[in-house]
Amino acid sequence: MKTVVRAGLVAILVTALAVPAQAATVRQVTSTCHAGEFGGTFTLRYDTSGGYHHPLGVVTTAGPYIGDVGTQSLRISYSDGLGTHTVYTSVGPATNGEHTQTLPAGLAIPATARATASAKFDNGTASCVATVPIT
């Protein structure tokens, strides 16, 4: 009888431990900017787990004309009371229309820090910056 009770308790314990942890929810934040006729939209996707925000990817849309001969700069950073820390930067050509970019794996921002991500759209004559909070 003891063996049957122990086996039952072990089965319950194993089942309880085997329940998967709750999956992180992917969040999405969007901002727009304008400089005269030019404009840009910036969307950041990220999840939060283990006490960290993990940026996953971005979608940018530029136009009209700002993407003809310009650059697009991306910056993700946070402040933690000791200073500002840049997690990721990239600079590339801006293109009219929508552009999707997957970010490198392993980016992590402490969930307790104040964090932002921004995209600067610049065509050499006009520029604007779209910034989103990471909370």
Q: What is the mean pLDDT of residues 58-62?
A: 93
The enclosing H or E element of 9 equals helix 2-18
**Amino acid letter for position 73:** S
Q: Please check the confidence at residue 3 and state whether its pLDDT lies above 60.
A: no
Give the confidence band of 107 by pLDDT, cuts at 50, 70, 90.
very high
Give the C-alpha distances (Å, rounded to integers) separating 104 from 54, 56, 80, 89. Answer: 10, 8, 22, 11
Question: Contact, 100 vs 79, CB < 8 A?
Answer: no
Give the confidence band of 51 by pLDDT, cuts at 50, 70, 90.
very high
Cα–Cα distance measured from residue 55 to residue 78, given in angstroms and rounded to the nearest whole number: 12
Q: What is the mean pLDDT of residues 115-122?
A: 96
**Amino acid letter for position 23:** A
Domains in the chain with CATH codes: 22-134 (2.60.40)
Cα–Cα distance measured from residue 37 to residue 65, given in angstroms and rounded to the nearest whole number: 8
Question: Contact, 46 vs 27, CB < 8 A?
Answer: yes
What are the respective helix, strand and coil percentages of the chain, to the nearest 5?
15, 60, 30
Phi, psi of 15 (to 5 degrees): -65, -45
